[in-house]
Amino acid sequence: MPSLYEENEILLKEGIALLEILPDDFYHSERDDGLSSVGEHFRHIIEHYQMFLQGIARGYIDYDKRERNLKLETNRTYALEILGTLCLALLQNGIPEGQVLVSQNYNPEFPKPVLSSTIERELLFLVSHTVHHYAIIAMILKGYGFTVPNRFGYSPATLYAKQVSPT
């Protein structure tokens, strides 16, 4: 069974594989419905990994401190470069295990919660978060008529369940 580091690395490599074949105009095109572009979703995913890696170095992950870097959401090649860097960071597996403080505020009208978590739990969160956004990316791209790899946007558990009990 792959470690949580490997699970995240596998997902990031799926994103890299998609971005390597994706035309630039599909990456950053403005949507008619006002919803987020593929590039905006990739930026969001990437910045969560960046906050994770920066946060574990200081023992406090603040997912709200994201830069919201426009270059990540408009420049596919730059996003590819950063995804590769994130893969290397996970591959090195120099990430400690154990306790970490985490905050993420969904409602600025309330005080920002600071909770105790573990690095392993946050790696699991990143897997779930990434798969969720990959599923949205897949729907966007299918709407453009782009053929998305069959496994993209699905968790391994979902793919397994489809094999065991196809609908």
Tokens read off for 88: 């290397």
pLDDT score, position 31: 67
| Domain containing residue 60: CATH number | 1.20.120.450
Residues 44-90: tens digit of each pLDDT: 999 999 999 999 988 999 999 899 999 999 999 999 999 999 999 98
Q: Say how many CA atoms lie within 13 Å of 136 toward its Cβ.
A: 15
Q: What is the DSSP string of 136-165?
A: HHHHHHHHTTPPPPTTTT--HHHHHHHHHS
> How big, in percent rounded to 5, are the helix, strand and coil portions of the chain?
60, 10, 30
Give the whole-angstrom CA distance, residue 121 versus residue 128: 11
pLDDT score, position 72: 96
User: Is the confidence at residue 167, as pLDDT, over 70?
Assistant: no
User: Is the confidence at residue 130, as pLDDT, over 80?
Assistant: yes
pTM, rounded to two decimals: 0.91
User: Is the confidence at residue 1, as pLDDT, over 80?
Assistant: no
Structural domain boundaries, residue 57:
4-164
For the chain, the domain total comes to 1
Rounded mean pLDDT of 87-106?
A: 84
Using an 8 Å Cβ cutoff, are 14 and 83 in contact?
no
